[in-house]
């Protein structure tokens, strides 16, 4: 068993999802939207992505609703619409609700015309990007999404944390039990994983984060504080400098920053910090969603088989000495889902306390957690 | 002056482009197509990408036409077409000709519907991917393209070179003198750069290539030979293993492999080697092209300004100690273009010999190179 779960209690998916729905409702989110928000979060936990699930429920969503910087009631305006394109304004509502509608629009347009792309402004953290790609995959499509985020990543040869961890997430269906899905930050490590390390008191590997002198920094809790104050920066995929091609990760991060903001005239870089004059303010995040209908190119089964053949060939190829397995993107998340089906979600002590605080505040006595 | 140019002669763009057109024509390519092929190659040299320009003219195009594995006359069939999508068969013709038509179709569809995406089968090496993104950029669009390629890159924890260097190339217009364009392989280093190092006898940095025991390999000429025999593999962006997130570069490489093959039922991985039973055979490459019309989302000038503001903020941010400049993607290529305008292309000794061989073979006596 992974040591990161040593101080965790395992909690069933259903109780966590229901609890999140009830708390979201108490915080002012309409029932239907509350279910969407909770579903996105629990999907992350089901896929083993502990950085984006229930561990972010209170700090990233509930606390921000309480602070008045997220509107619990999500009003969505369609600012512009064409046959395959649209721009939505989320009016600072729940990111998951805006994002789900946006990807659904992209899918609907792709069904009709082959392609769809929707840009979103004035939104909030939308959870795992992969959720929205999975929506497209279920519709037999290629699903792509990206979002900007709080400033975390320095450009190559820079030390200021300006860019978000900006995921560029791409998935498609295969003939296997699970789809291909690369759902990751364009930095080496993302902020949610730093949070997980900070919660369990684990150091980061060297070479992932720079301090303001351009030296490597490994204390996760300090990194989180320093990121807020602009005294640390995550490194883009590829690492420091150019020799190992850090400029490529930096380039893709810039792609996501521009696509998330420039199609909808939105905020970018440090304006996404959620802090102004020392006070919390809305994040004004932007996202984009692309769906491409595989049926428009070929029979879906043919696509799935070729994709599956490629993935199986990769997995079955010769391993490095000392390694006995090669994974493909989305496989570890599927493994986590298989493993967790019978156990639920590992909830660490800090998150346990958050859940109990919420339970007490809203008198949700019908929920009984295994850590009470 | 960079030492890699020490043994080079500088040759004007026009003479090189005209020479390539004439040789392509002598090799059987129709005049109009010859101009397209030469333009893609010289654009690479103009942008300072020496790995994909005139240095590849003979070995990657002319030699392959002579070997009968590329058809100089490019016949393009439209296999399937929808409002925003199409699948083209390049019938093993010139990659640049097929690719240019494919991106033009994507652009035309995007003009009408907002988006366009075209997949290509049975093609050949299409030169710098960035050329096609630049076509979309000039039309006021987001331009995306990718292609599979000869097997070069090992999956994370693997040692077999299975994946191509698979570029995922993305660009858009800005309000600056040059567009944003990330045009790079999803491996740390690409094969063309290894070729440049081999030509000038320079070692590769450690950590970019694995030998069959999973150890780092730095001799460029040996790497090229070993890649052909499956005894070396380039590493994906992010490097070896998972700690520095090599699985992300591997994931994006897989995305490009799947999108390049599965939409058109084409070849993939080792089937793209161009060798069968020790003999040269067609490569059967696949590509994809996406254009998204910015006008469908917002005023083009607004997009350009936001993009430019993001890029300027990145460039003007605090530098790492010991560094005094931050670049954005496409800027170094623009700098190269400015620098080369008065000088032309640096042509090393090996390429000089190739050009003289071609000149003699086709009696192109009207061309006089400065190295003769």
Could you read off the pLDDT of A232-274 as tens digits, one per residue?
999 999 999 999 999 999 999 999 999 999 999 999 999 999 9
For chain B, domain boundaries: 1-66+345-372, 75-188+235-316+321-341
From chain A, pick out residues whose CB is under 8 angstroms from the CB of B210. 320
Flag if A265 and B302 touch (Cβ within 8 Å).
Answer: yes
Among the partner residues A119, A255, A270, nearest to B182 by beta-carbon distance: A255
From chain A, pick out residues whose CB is under 8 angstroms from the CB of B315. 155
Mean pLDDT of chain A: 96
Could you read off the pLDDT of B152-201 as tens digits, one per residue?
999 999 999 999 999 999 999 999 999 999 999 999 998 888 988 887 88
Q: Kindly state the percentage of chain B with pLDDT values over 70.
A: 99
Closest residue in B to A190 (Cα–Cα): B245
| Rounded Cα distance, B26 and B19, in Å | 11
pLDDT at A110: 98
pLDDT at B1: 35
* pLDDT(B226) > 70: yes
Taking only Cα atoms into account, the Rg of chain A, rounded to an integer number of angstroms, comes to 20
Flag if A159 and B262 touch (Cβ within 8 Å).
Answer: no
pLDDT at B3: 64
Distance from CA of B192 to the nearest CA of A (A): 15
| Rounded Cα distance, A203 and A223, in Å | 10
Contact A306, B262 (CB under 8 A): yes
Distance from CA of A184 to the nearest CA of B (A): 7
CATH of region B75-188+235-316+321-341, choose from 2.60.40.1180, 3.30.300.30, 3.30.1370.60, 3.40.50.720? 3.30.1370.60
Distance from CA of A35 to the nearest CA of B (A): 30
Distance of CA A130 to the CA centre of its chain: 7
Across the A:B interface, residue pairs with CB atoms under 8 Å apart total 282
CATH 1.10.645.10 fits domain A1-66+345-372: no
What is the pLDDT confidence band of residue A3, given thresholds at 50, 70 and 90? low
Instruction: Using alpha carbons, select from B24, B224, B68, B257 the residue that is nearest to residue A328.
Output: B257
Among the partner residues A84, A213, A264, nearest to B113 by beta-carbon distance: A84
Contact A326, B158 (CB under 8 A): yes
What is the pLDDT confidence band of residue A1, given thresholds at 50, 70 and 90? very low
Flag if B158 and A319 touch (Cβ within 8 Å).
Answer: yes
Q: Measure Cα distances from A370 to A52, A354, A355, A356 in Å.
A: 21, 14, 12, 11
Distance from CA of A238 to the nearest CA of B (A): 5
Tokens 């038509």 locate to B101
pLDDT at B141: 98
| Rounded Cα distance, B25 and B36, in Å | 12
Distance of CA B173 to the CA centre of its chain: 20
Return the residue in A152, A264, A299, A314 with the most chain B beta carbons within 10 A, the one to mutate for interface testing: A314
Flag if B158 and A184 touch (Cβ within 8 Å).
Answer: no
Distance from CA of A336 to the nearest CA of B (A): 17
List phi, psi (to 5°) of A245: 70, 35
Could you read off the pLDDT of B130-161 as tens digits, one per residue?
999 999 999 999 999 999 999 999 999 999 99
Return the residue in B81, B156, B248 with the most chain A beta carbons within 10 A, the one to mutate for interface testing: B248
Closest residue in A to B86 (Cα–Cα): A297
Could you read off the pLDDT of A35-52 as tens digits, one per residue?
999 999 999 999 999 989
| Rounded Cα distance, A102 and A267, in Å | 19
Q: How many Cβ atoms are within 10 Å of A278's Cβ, its own excluded?
A: 5
Flag if B245 and A258 touch (Cβ within 8 Å).
Answer: no
Flag if B328 and A298 touch (Cβ within 8 Å).
Answer: no
Return the residue in A143, A154, A253, A258 with the most chain B beta carbons within 10 A, the one to mutate for interface testing: A258
Flag if B184 and A248 touch (Cβ within 8 Å).
Answer: yes
Q: Which two tokens stand for residue B67?
A: 């070997």
Q: How many Cβ atoms are within 10 Å of A30's Cβ, its own excluded?
A: 15
Per DSSP, helices labelled H in chain B are 13-26, 31-46, 63-66, 95-113, 130-138, 191-200, 220-228, 246-261, 300-315, 331-340, 349-361
Flag if A329 and B170 touch (Cβ within 8 Å).
Answer: no
From chain B, pick out residues whose CB is under 8 angstroms from the CB of A317. 154-155, 158-160, 162
* pLDDT(A66) > 50: yes
Q: Determine the Cα angle at A16 with ends A11 and A17, to 5°.
A: 145
Contact B129, B161 (CB under 8 A): no
3-class SS of residue A134: helix
Q: B294 in the Ramachandran plot: left (φ > 0), alpha (ψ -120 to 50) or beta?
A: alpha
**B165 CB-near residues (< 8 Å, 6+ apart):** B149, B152, B153, B185, B186, B187, B190, B191, B234, B253
Closest residue in B to A331 (Cα–Cα): B251
Residue A247, judged by CB atoms within 10 A of its CB (0-12, 13-18, 19+), counts as: buried
DSSP string for A290-343: EEEEGGGTS-HHHHHHHHHHHHHHHHTSPBPTT------TTHHHHHHHHHHTTT
> What are the contacts of B270-276 at 24+ separation with CB within 8 A?
B270/A313, B270/B151, B270/B162, B272/B148, B272/B149, B272/B150, B272/B151, B272/B164, B273/B150, B273/B151, B273/B228, B274/B64, B274/B69, B274/B150, B275/B228
Contact A157, B319 (CB under 8 A): yes
Tokens 């995921």 locate to A167
Q: Which two tokens stand for residue A320?
A: 């490095």
Tokens 């994974």 locate to A327
Element (H, E) at A9: strand A9-11
Please list the residues that pair with A118 across neighbouring strands: A86, A289
Return the residue in A254, A262, A296 with the most chain B beta carbons within 10 A, the one to mutate for interface testing: A262
């Amino acid at each position: 068993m992974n040591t990161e779960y040593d101080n965790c209690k395992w909690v069933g998916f259903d109780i966590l999802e229901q609890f999140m729905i009830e708390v979201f409702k108490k915080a002012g989110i309409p029932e239907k939207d509350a279910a969407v928000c909770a579903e996105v979060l629990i999907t992350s936990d089901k896929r083993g992505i502990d950085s984006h699930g229930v561990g972010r429920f209170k700090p990233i969503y509930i606390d921000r609703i309480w602070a008045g910087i997220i509107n619990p009631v999500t009003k969505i305006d369609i600012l512009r619409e064409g046959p395959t394109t649209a721009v939505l304004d989320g009016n600072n509502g729940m990111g998951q609700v805006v994002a789900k509608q946006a990807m659904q629009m992209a899918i609907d347009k792709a069904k009709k015309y082959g392609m769809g792309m929707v840009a979103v402004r004035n939104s909030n953290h939308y959870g795992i990007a992969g959720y929205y790609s999975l929506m497209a995959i279920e519709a037999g499509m290629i699903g792509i999404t990206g979002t900007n985020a709080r400033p975390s990543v320095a450009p190559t040869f820079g030390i200021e944390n300006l860019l978000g961890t900006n995921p560029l997430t791409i998935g498609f269906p295969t003939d296997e039990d699970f789809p291909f899905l690369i759902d990751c930050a364009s930095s080496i490590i993302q902020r949610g994983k730093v949070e997980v390390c900070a919660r369990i008191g684990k150091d980061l590997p060297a070479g992932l984060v720079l301090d303001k002198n351009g030296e490597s920094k490994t204390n996760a809790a300090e990194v989180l504080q320093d990121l807020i104050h602009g005294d640390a920066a995550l490194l883009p995929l590829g690492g420091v400098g150019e020799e190992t091609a850090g400029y490529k990760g930096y380039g893709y991060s810039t792609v996501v920053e521009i696509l998330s903001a420039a199609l909808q005239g939105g905020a970018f870089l440090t304006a996404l910090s959620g802090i102004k004059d020392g006070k919390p303010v809305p994040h004004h995040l932007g996202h984009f969603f692309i769906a491409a209908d595989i049926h428009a190119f070929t029979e879906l089964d043919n696509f799935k088989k070729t994709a599956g053949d490629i993935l199986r060939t990769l997995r079955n190829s010769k391993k490095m000495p000392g390694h006995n397995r090669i994974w493909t993107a989305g496989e570890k998340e599927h493994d986590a889902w298989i493993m967790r089906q019978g156990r639920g979600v590992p909830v660490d002590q800090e998150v346990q306390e958050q859940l109990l605080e919420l339970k007490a505040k809203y008198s949700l006595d019908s929920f009984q957690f295994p850590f009470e």
